[in-house]
């Protein structure tokens, strides 16, 4: 079981309210991603769940039990950090088994759990190596293996891929997603990378200044952002937000249009291409559109335009988002 419930959870450091008050339900078996800009409180919230930080007020329940005052070791959770924190003098086998040894588990059961974890993580042929003989991705898998053998109620990941290069990040992202499908254990994953959030999560929690802006599936947040913050944060490249007279024409303070929802060669807008990135599968354009500002356009395939070209373009019908003066989505 891995049901986690936060009720009015607050965290303050003196007069600074890092988490002003959070209510959140995380269902058993869900892959939940906390996402937001640096300093939004996502890692602090994870540490509160883990018990590594004390709550100022509020309640944290794990499987219906009040865990607010429990020490980390009593919460039944396993955490994977940015740092692998492996013992360099120990083999992979001993690194993975270490928390079981500290818990006084028999060597037979230790070996059985290590073998199972190594099989799941494709580490069976590396068990007798030391961390210095492994790649970054393999070391991260060892750190995850050390968490798996504890058979926790939930896994907590604090930006575990931040130390890896781009190619390894993609590979490990897939491996963690497959691990979740295999184990079906609750996972809470912290990242500032919204692409990771979109590709991995069952449910995304968007945080801003310690507050939850919106909770939903990746496509719910993409298609129906609740406000301009979520609209501008979810999606890569980010949504274009336009104010002024153009927004007023649509009865809004701000309108939003995603780069992939702009048609090139037709439409009510005109502009000058500043940057054209031709990637084969897509073409990305930065277009200076006068009072509308500089807009990002994502067109499928190859678009034959270059720096300095004048183009007509405009929003695809039905794809405009309208926001009021308070930044909230309008009906």
pLDDT in tens, 111-149: 999 999 998 888 999 999 999 999 888 888 899 899 989
Spell out the residues 6+ positions from residue 14 whose beta carbon is closer than 8 angstroms to its own.
none
Q: Is the pLDDT of residue 48 over 90?
A: yes
Sheet of 203-208: strand order equals 77-80, 154-158, 186-191, 31-35, 203-208, 211-216
Scan for tokens 């069976």, then name that residue: 124
User: Residue 263's closest CA among 202, 318, 330?
Assistant: 318
Are 312 and 267 in contact by the 8 Å Cβ rule? The answer is yes
- 308/297 Cα distance (integer angstroms): 15
The CB density around residue 31, as the number of other CB atoms within 10 Å, is: 23
Segment 67-109, tens digit of pLDDT: 999 999 899 999 988 777 889 999 999 999 998 998 899 999 9
- Mean pLDDT along residues 283-293: 96
pTM score: 0.89
**CA within 13 Å, CB half, 231:** 24
Least confident piece of the model among 7-11, 28-32, 172-176, 199-203: 172-176
- The dihedral built from the CA positions of residue 24, 30, 35 and 40, taken in this order, carries a sign that is positive
Phi-psi domain of 64 (left: phi exceeds 0; alpha: psi -120 through 50; beta: other): left
- Mean pLDDT to the nearest integer, 275-296: 95
What are 49-59's pLDDT values in tens digits?
A: 999 999 999 99
pLDDT at position 49 is 97
């Amino acid at each position: 079981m891995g049901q986690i419930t936060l009720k009015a959870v607050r965290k303050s450091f003196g007069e600074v309210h890092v988490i002003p008050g959070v209510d959140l339900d995380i269902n058993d078996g869900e892959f939940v991603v906390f996402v937001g800009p640096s300093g939004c409180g996502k890692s602090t919230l994870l540490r509160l769940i883990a018990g590594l930080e004390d709550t100022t007020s509020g309640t944290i329940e794990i499987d219906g039990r009040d865990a607010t005052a429990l020490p980390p070791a009593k919460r039944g959770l396993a955490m994977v950090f940015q740092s692998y924190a492996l013992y360099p003098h120990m083999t992979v086998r001993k690194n993975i088994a270490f928390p079981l040894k500290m818990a006084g588990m028999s060597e037979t059961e230790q070996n059985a759990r290590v073998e199972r974890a190594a099989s799941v993580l494709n580490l069976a042929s590396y068990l007798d190596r030391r961390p210095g003989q492994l790649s970054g991705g393999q070391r991260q898998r060892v750190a995850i293996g050390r968490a798996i053998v504890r058979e926790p109620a939930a896994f907590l990941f604090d930006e575990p891929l931040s130390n890896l290069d781009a190619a390894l990040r993609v590979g490990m992202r897939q491996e963690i997603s497959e691990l979740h499908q295999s184990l079906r254990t609750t996972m809470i994953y912290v990242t500032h990378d919204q692409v990771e959030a979109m590709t991995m999560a069952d449910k995304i929690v968007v945080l801003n200044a310690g507050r939850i802006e919106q909770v939903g599936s990746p496509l719910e947040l993409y298609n129906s952002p609740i406000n301009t913050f979520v609209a501008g944060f979810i999606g890569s490249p980010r949504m274009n937000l336009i104010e002024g007279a153009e927004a007023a024409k649509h009865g809004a303070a701000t309108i939003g249009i995603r780069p992939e929802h702009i048609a090139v060669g037709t439409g009510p807008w005109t502009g000058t291409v500043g940057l054209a990135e031709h990637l084969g599968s897509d073409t990305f354009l930065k277009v200076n559109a006068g009072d509308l500002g500089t807009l990002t356009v994502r067109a499928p395939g190859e678009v034959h335009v270059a720096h300095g070209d004048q183009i007509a373009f405009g929003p695809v019908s039905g794809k405009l988002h309208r926001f009021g003066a308070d930044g909230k989505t309008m009906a």
